[in-house]
Amino acid sequence: MTSPTSSCRRVAPLITIALALGACGSGGDTTDAPDDTTVFEDAPTDETVGTSDANSADVAGTPDDPADGTADDEPAAATTDGGSAFLGDYVLADDAFGTMTEVTVTDGVRTISTNALPDHETGEFPNSANPNAISAQDQTWAFPAEPTFTNVATEVRVTGVAVNGVKFEPGTAETATCASGEVHRIEGLQDTFLLGMDDNNAHVQPTGEYHYHGIADVLVEAKATGDDLVLIGFAVDGHLMYHSLSDAYSSSYQLSAAPRTGTDCVVSGPGGVTLDLAGTSPDGTYTSDFVYVEGSGDLDECNGMTINGSYAYLVTDDYPFVGRCVKGDVSGVAGVAGGGAPGAAPEAGAGEDVGAPPDAPDLTEAAESLGIGVDELTAALGQPPSVENAAATLGVTVDELRAVLPPPPTGTPGQG
């Protein structure tokens, strides 16, 4: 099932609360389009363009089941993007926008050196919901060019980097922290709280870094090759990131049927708004509003699937928009396991320091108390963890489950 609408933007609710965080362009305002956009200074060689081996994620044909590689249904218009010029070495430079991104593939490593300036129009920054101006960064990312699929989900903060050097960081630092113990993480792409997203589903962090929370149509249009699947980025585990022009691949997340819990919930950011969430219906405002239902869509919990023998991620118009985990080996990628990514600042609100993500809590005692295995408890909690969804899955009350779970580390997302 999909989230309430097929668009990344949902219908505005009755109450809209503005948070001065890191946003792009209020009301979709954009800068003027330049005459000249993308410039390839170093063309890829013949052997790095149009490849169709496993490392280039040949995505033509029937999709395989994300867990076991078997096919059930063939989504419409699944076509190859083998002609993309971004599979090998390239330099993307744009004088009008100041973009400078150089990518090299050497000895099994894809190195991305970038100033992280987008090569397209953006919203106006700063704006009423985002006090941050876009500024050039100095980043170098090193991802596997020959990824190893493990089928084990590893939670990450930065999912990957677009072909233009702008990162995909779908989560936020904003929360509603409740006196009753819940911490509800606020989603980036929703309309209850104004985070200043522009028409590219992107905004700006206090460091000046522009980054995507979802699909940017202008990016897709510029990089399309005429095929349904458009190569738009590289995940931190090395697998490729695509967008389907026909929305051929559906998410397996849906809104939870369980009402929210939480009283006297204080929203982070200026204003200190207090809400009572207990008994309210999930509508996509919070990460915990969603639950992963295996097999309900084409994609797995990391928004990926194996297609014609190659695992790849889809950036979709529905939640989770950009996956929050990866299923490739990231043991050799600095700073990825447990969240974060090399050379990247964590998502943060205006002046807010999120800090480094903690190690995963030990669930052994909790699992033993419930008479189940750690793997079963971990799967029930999901990614990101949700106590409400896990309680419903395990057939216990929320209070019973909270009583046996270890407390969330200080300063990190809770299990709302």
pLDDT tens digits for 257-315? 999 999 999 999 656 789 999 999 999 999 999 999 999 999 999 999 998 889 999 99
Same domain, 313 and 387: no
User: What is the per-residue pLDDT for 395?
Assistant: 80
Last residue of some domain: 357, 372, 405?
Answer: 357
Same domain, 122 and 195: yes
Domain for residue 225, yes or no? yes
Last residue of some domain: 308, 337, 357?
Answer: 357
Q: What is the dihedral of CA 258, 263, 266, 271, to 10 degrees?
A: 110
Same domain, 308 and 338: yes
pLDDT band at 2 (very low <50, low <70, confident <90, very high): very low
Last residue of some domain: 306, 333, 357?
Answer: 357
Same domain, 82 and 101: yes
* Residue 106 to residues 159, 167, 280, 389, Cα–Cα distance (Å): 22, 21, 52, 44
Q: In terms of Cα–Cα distance, which of 318, 320, 141 is closest to 236?
A: 141
Domain count, the chain: 2
Beta strands in 236-353 (DSSP E): 240-244, 253-255, 265-267, 274-275, 290-292, 304-307, 310-314, 325-328
Q: In terms of Cα–Cα distance, which of 395, 388, 351, 345 is closest to 370?
A: 395
Same domain, 315 and 410: no
- Most confident of the ranges 61-75, 333-347, 361-375, 380-394: 361-375
- Give dist(CA 198, CA 30) in Å, integer: 8
Domain for residue 84, yes or no? yes
User: What is the per-residue pLDDT for 407?
Assistant: 65
Domain for residue 10, yes or no? no
Same domain, 314 and 373: no
Same domain, 98 and 138: yes
- Give dist(CA 354, CA 413) in Å, integer: 10
User: What is the per-residue pLDDT for 221?
Assistant: 97
Burial of 339 (0-12, 13-18, 19+ CB in 10 A): buried
Identify the residue whose tokens are 């669930």. 363
- Give dist(CA 253, CA 215) in Å, integer: 17
Query: What percent of the chain lies above the pLDDT cut of 70?
Result: 69
Same domain, 98 and 148: yes
Same domain, 331 and 366: no
Domain for residue 236, yes or no? yes
Residue 14 predicted with pLDDT over 60: no
Domain for residue 2, yes or no? no
Locate 56 and state its tokens.
């280039």
Same domain, 394 and 351: no
Same domain, 336 and 373: no
Amino acid at 189: L
- Give dist(CA 105, CA 99) in Å, integer: 20
Mean pLDDT of the residues in the chain: 78
pLDDT band at 222 (very low <50, low <70, confident <90, very high): very high
Domain for residue 169, yes or no? yes
Residue 217 predicted with pLDDT over 70: yes
- Give dist(CA 201, CA 266) in Å, integer: 25
Same domain, 155 and 48: yes
Domain for residue 11, yes or no? no
Least confident of 21-25, 34-38, 243-247, 353-357: 353-357
Residue 316 predicted with pLDDT over 50: yes
DSSP H helix total and E strand total for the chain: 5, 24
User: What is the per-residue pLDDT for 328?
Assistant: 97
The residue range of the domain holding 369 is: 360-416
Domain for residue 301, yes or no? yes
